[in-house]
Amino acid sequence: MSELNLEHFRNRLHQLQAELEAVADQSADASSTVELDQSRVGRLSRMDAMQAQSMAQETARRRKAQLLRIEGALRRIDSGEYGECFACGEEIDPARLEFDPTTTRCVACKEAG
């Protein structure tokens, strides 16, 4: 992969990383402990709050996983392995990397399982 393409993907990955970290900072209190005091909050409101908390925790888990994939892609750029399929070693189509710059498999290997 050319240096120009690598720099494009490095910038794109850094941008995605910054966006995810900004969202994480904004939504940190959404997964905080739900208040169980019935005199302050009704039962249905507590159930709604618990469901919202659960959804926020799952979103945070997915965000963390995506950040780990971004870090891995940046390490592969630094080591010169970015854009190579983990399974077959062939070059991953740049259009596929444009869609998901953290992908580690070419279309054929991804479809194969």
Q: Which residue has the higher pLDDT, 23 or 1?
A: 23
Structure tokens at 6: 């690598």
Which pTM was predicted? 0.79
pLDDT tens, position by position, 6-54: 999 999 999 999 999 998 888 766 555 555 555 555 666 778 888 888 9
What CA–CA distance (Å, rounded) separates 83 from 33?
42
Domain residue ranges in the chain: 3-82
Angle at 95 between CA 8 and CA 13, to 5 degrees: 35
What CA–CA distance (Å, rounded) separates 57 from 66?
14
The amino acid at 35: E
Task: Mention every residue, 6+ apart, whose C-beta is less than 8 A from residue 16.
Answer: 66, 70, 101
